[in-house]
Structure 1
Amino acid sequence: MSQLKGVVSHHEREIAELRADRELAVAYLKAAMESLDDPDERAAGLLALRTVAEAHGGLGAVAAEAGISRESLYRSLSPKGNPTLKTLLAVLKTMGMRLSVEPEHQAHA
């Protein structure tokens, strides 16, 4: 099967957009991090963090700067990954971000 000229995969386009727009990357990751609370949605949050890391120079570069082995980072940011708090904080710091806490929004009766 031949490749179509000028066609870019969704993933490649997503990485390019996140690389070009830091505010978009922060908003994307912030929305995705909310899914980490739900075991059924956790994979999406981890994959979003992985995508932002790819946009930040690639998993190998992020792992090296964060002091984590590349293999460990790939495993941690996989759909079934379970990164430690230390890994999560190191990856976010490498990308110039940090973890924050906000009150949970609750409907008032």
Structure 2
Amino acid sequence: MTLELREFDTSAYLDNEEVIAEYLSQVLADGDSDELLVAIGNIAKARGMTKIANDSGLGRESLYKVFAPGAKPRFETVMKVMRALGVELQAKPLAAGKSYGNLPSSD
């Protein structure tokens, strides 16, 4: 008997606002910009690339290219897609005692 493995498709599990928000929050907490772009692409795929392309004013093919591995889209483009997804980014202070990368802590 031959086992057939299918590639895991994250977008198949992004089926409600709470799941999407938690997924995006976890990716943002990791701080990896490439992973963030993949996550936004997964969310766009879950919502429907054609719909997101129309809502963002980008071409469907362009949308796939924007979120392809190794792509370096402009911030403006990412924000257009985020708005089309109905998602906003918010800033909050780091927890006490934490610092990010080489930035000094607030001691």
TM-score, normalised by the number of residues in structure 2:
0.72
Bigger mean CA deviation after superposition, 26-35 or 42-51? 26-35
Choose which of 25, 28, 35 in structure 2 pairs with 1:33.
28
Which structure has the greater CA radius of gyration?
Answer: 2
Aligned equivalents of 1:96 and 1:29: distance in 2? 12
RMSD: 2.5
Q: Is the 8 Å Cα contact of residues 89 and 99 (structure 1) preserved in structure 2?
A: no
The gaps in structure 1 that reach 5 residues or longer are: none
The gaps in structure 2 that reach 5 residues or longer are: 99-106
Identity of aligned residues (%): 24
TM-score, normalised by the number of residues in structure 1:
0.71
Structure 1 segments, 4+ long, off by >4 Å, are none
Number of residues paired by the alignment? 98
- How big is the shift at 1:51? 0.5
Question: Would you tell me which structure has more helix in proportion to its own residues?
Answer: 1
